Amino acid sequence: MDLQALKNKYDIIGNDPALNEALETAVKFAPTGLSVLIQGESGVGKENVARIIHQYSTRKQGPFFVVNCGALPKELVNSELFGHVKGSFTGAVDNRKGYFEEADGGTLFLDEIAELPLESQALLLRVLQSGEFRKVGSNKVEHTDVRIVAATNVHLYEAVKRGKFREDLYFRLSAAQIRIPALRERKSDIYLLFRKFTSDFSEVNGMCKISLKPDAIRLLEQYRWPGNIRQLQGFTQSLTAQLSQKVTPTLQRIELSAQELQPFMPLEEGEPIPMLYEGPQPQSSSLGAEERQAIFKAILDLKQEVDALKARMDRRELPAPPVAAPAPVMEDEAEWQDQEEQPAPVEEPSLSVRRSEEELIRQALEKYHGNRKKAAEELGMSERTLYRKLPPEYRKK
């Protein structure tokens, strides 16, 4: 296999060893008929690798469909994938073929496969195992001969452990895996891609190409590029549009230093923002256990700060309040009145705060199997304070 010819055909730029390995693996998997799982961050070029697998397979004369699973409406996923019959749901005014029927004899590229609902994952597993499926609203079993190439930008086995992805489907797909490196792992390819993007953009718009001095190249390579190739392409096109000029006989290229490039560099830094996990929630609350614990801890921390502030106020020498009959205290108020010329009594927290505090202590004790020392360290209080605040069921233990 001529690797450079393959890159030229699919407009792939770079000489990184990990990228070369991914392309070589794709060509090896292509003629086997195996389902393939492509892993890599958004914007690294997973669809290009899927097209290579299709074109180098025995199905290259068949159809190739790209399905972005993350863009499918959840209520229509099964209809999109497997089709539906007339009247099967509101809006189903006619029979409709799904992607599996349309792609018969070809390849179906399922991008962002981790976004599929669990119900659809079960139906997908059945197709992979037997080629059988049913349209929505139909009892007729139909058959298809489709090769699946799936892609994901998340750690799929972590999704399995969180209950977001079926383990049997994961093992079915993961037998043949290809990992595409992130752009920050291919630093030597960054400037090659930059040159390609500015050259293409300049040629289309009749503008000068942008080139970089060595210090500017280092600046470009130091950035993380969380959006990978897609982000670099957009950045390069925008930079060329802003700084370049129309080509003239005496001006063909504009060279930038790091100082000139710096004002245009993206501002984002650090790790990409993680996606919020929306796993199964307890029926009694819309919040997850970790979220509830964080809220309880915040309440406890706030109460401790208020207690410390009140203690400092009690130590101050303030004039005695005038004698007056104690005012009634409403049950829903979190206030306590001082008794005249007597030491301030130990203040009891309000019912809601006390319950939140006890719930947090209870969770910490359960986490450490009743070990009070470790629970106290987790909660940021002394063991003595923890003992005083123990929930009733732990006081005799």
Same domain (yes/no): 216, 159: no
Q: Is the pLDDT of residue 312 over 60?
A: no
Q: Is residue 54 in a domain?
A: yes
Q: Is the pLDDT of residue 375 over 90?
A: no
**pLDDT tens by residue, 89-114:** 777 778 889 999 999 999 999 999 99
Q: Are 85 and 45 in contact (CB under 8 A)?
A: no
Query: Domain range holding 196?
Result: 183-264
Specify the number of domains making up the chain: 3
Over residues 241-262, the mean pLDDT reads 90
**pLDDT tens by residue, 163-203:** 999 999 999 998 899 999 999 999 999 999 999 999 999 99
Over residues 337-358, the mean pLDDT reads 52
Q: Where are the alpha helices (DSSP H) in 156-227?
A: 156-161, 167-173, 187-205, 214-222
Task: Give, in degrees to the nearest 5, the angle at Cα 18 between 269 and 231.
Answer: 35
Distance of CA 242 to CAs 28, 227, 264, Å? 43, 21, 10
User: What is the predicted pLDDT for the residue at 318?
Assistant: 40
Same domain (yes/no): 115, 252: no
Q: Is residue 322 in a domain?
A: no
Taking the CB of residue 260, how many other CB atoms lie within 10 A of it?
14
Same domain (yes/no): 197, 226: yes
User: What is the predicted pLDDT for the residue at 392?
Assistant: 74
- The pLDDT confidence band at residue 386, using thresholds 50, 70 and 90, is confident
Same domain (yes/no): 13, 107: yes
Token digits for 201?
Answer: 């953009």
Q: Are 40 and 181 in contact (CB under 8 A)?
A: yes
User: What ranges make up the beta strands (E) of the chain?
Assistant: 36-39, 64-68, 107-111, 132-134, 141-143, 147-152, 177-179, 209-212, 253-256
Residue (of 260, 249, 243, 258) closest to 209 by Cα position: 243
Q: Is residue 340 in a domain?
A: no
| Phi, psi angles (nearest 5°) of residue 136 | -60, 125
* Verdict on whether the full-model pTM lies above 0.75: no
Residue that the structure tokens 């990228």 belong to: 19
Taking the CB of residue 120, how many other CB atoms lie within 10 A of it?
19
Same domain (yes/no): 240, 379: no
User: What is the predicted pLDDT for the residue at 186?
Assistant: 95
User: What is the predicted pLDDT for the residue at 361?
Assistant: 82
Cα–Cα distance between 110 and 66 in angstroms, integer? 6
Q: Is the pLDDT of residue 332 over 70?
A: no
